[in-house]
Amino acid sequence: MQDEDAGEDKFTGARRAMVEEQVRKRGIASPRVLEALLSVPRHEFVPAEFQADAYADKPLPIGEGQTISQPFMVGAMTEALELAGSDRVLEIGTGSGYQAAVLSGLAREVISVESHTSLALAAQERLVRLGYANVHVHNGDGSLGFADAAPYGAILITAAAPEIPPLLASQLCEGGRLVIPVGSQEDQELLQARKESGVLHSRVLFDCRFVPLLGRYGWTRPGRKSS
Ligand code: SAH
């Protein structure tokens, strides 16, 4: 866990500009979220050949056909989780581990599930090396959630789902928040849902486009929904 700018490095200026221009000026106001984005060295989470673009206003390839989300999207999703600092958070879709690192400073513990074994192993190794000790990566189908450590104060799905996976709703605490892109494989809406009296109430934040959630409650493969 780190609570200030990630030391001085050659990307410090680019990181500050990213937070100011791409995130704060577009409406992400939470000081804690902005600080979390300032604290994480995003260039450590992208492949070497894309390092020069690490702070650019776009998603980048991370291998296996997957992407690290655009900085604004990470800021918006993080803010929508409304983390108080004491929550345990479940992330589905570890990818590079960047979003999990951003969550690390805002939560008590982050459990992140990734279905690609190579990505899960690389992200776990990276998060340990960079000192994010309260993040734990698991390799498996996150469309089932992660029952072993449930319930969670907040759940974030960073891949596009055809609907809110039912087991995720059951693994959320009363009063907990769930943030997820829902729609087709081409276009989705980012939803923020809150569990009240055992029922999820959701609202649309904005349109978005994510790589597909595969697995039992996602799509079997690009173009098809499971079951
Ligand atoms: N949050 C990531 C980016 C996520 S991209 C970051 O900060 O870098 C979406 C990720 O979801 C991909 O890595 C993809 O492999 C993963 N994914 C897709 N379906 C999944 C599933 N059923 N369970 C777990 N991970 C899944």
Residue range 163-217, pLDDT digits in tens: 999 999 999 999 999 999 999 999 999 999 999 999 999 999 999 999 999 999 9
| Cα angle for residues 153, 227, 169 (degrees, 5° grid) | 10
In whole angstroms, how far apart are CA 98 and each of 89, 116, 167?
A: 14, 16, 25
Indicate which atom in ligand 1 lies nearest the CA of residue 213: 19
Greatest Cα pair distance, the chain, in angstroms, is: 50
Q: With the CA atoms of 119, 219, 173 and 84 taken in that order, what torsion angle do they form, in degrees rounded to the nearest 10?
A: 50
CA 110 / ligand 1 centre spacing (Å): 15
> Hey, is 51 helix, strand or coil?
helix
Indicate which atom in ligand 1 lies nearest the CA of residue 45: 8
Confidence bin at 220 (pLDDT 50/70/90)? confident
CA 72 / ligand 1 centre spacing (Å): 18
The pLDDT score that the predictor gives to residue 140 is 98
Phi, psi dihedrals of residue 225, rounded to the nearest 5°: -95, 145
pTM of the model: 0.95
Cis status of the peptide bond prior to 151, with omega within 30 of 0 = yes
CA distance 156 to 109: 13
Cβ of 77 below 6 Å from ligand 1: no
CA 19 / ligand 1 centre spacing (Å): 23
Cβ of 165 below 6 Å from ligand 1: no
Query: Is the CATH number of domain 9-208 3.40.50.150?
Result: yes
Residue 79: pLDDT above 80?
A: yes
Cis status of the peptide bond prior to 165, with omega within 30 of 0 = no
CA distance 200 to 173: 11
Q: Which residues have a catalytic role annotated?
A: 69
Residue 22: pLDDT above 60?
A: yes
The pLDDT score that the predictor gives to residue 223 is 61
* Ligand 1 atom 18, closest CA: 213
CA distance 85 to 89: 10
> Hey, is 161 helix, strand or coil?
strand
The pLDDT score that the predictor gives to residue 171 is 98
CA distance 102 to 1: 9
Domain segments of the chain: what residues?
Answer: 9-208
Residue range 82-117, pLDDT digits in tens: 999 899 999 999 999 999 999 999 999 999 999 999
Residue 226: pLDDT above 60?
A: no
Cβ of 104 below 6 Å from ligand 1: no
Structure tokens at 107: 């939560």
CA 96 / ligand 1 centre spacing (Å): 9
| Residue 199 C-beta-side C-alpha neighbours within 13 Å | 2
Residue with tokens 């081409």: 186
Residue 21: pLDDT above 80?
A: yes
Looking at residues 29-33, what average pLDDT do you find? 98
Cβ of 59 below 6 Å from ligand 1: no
Taking all residues of the chain, what is their mean pLDDT, rounded to a whole number? 94
CA distance 161 to 142: 11
Which residue out of 74, 139, 167, 214 has the highest number of ligand 1 atoms within 8 Å of its CB and is therefore the one to mutate? 214
Looking at residues 148-174, what average pLDDT do you find? 97
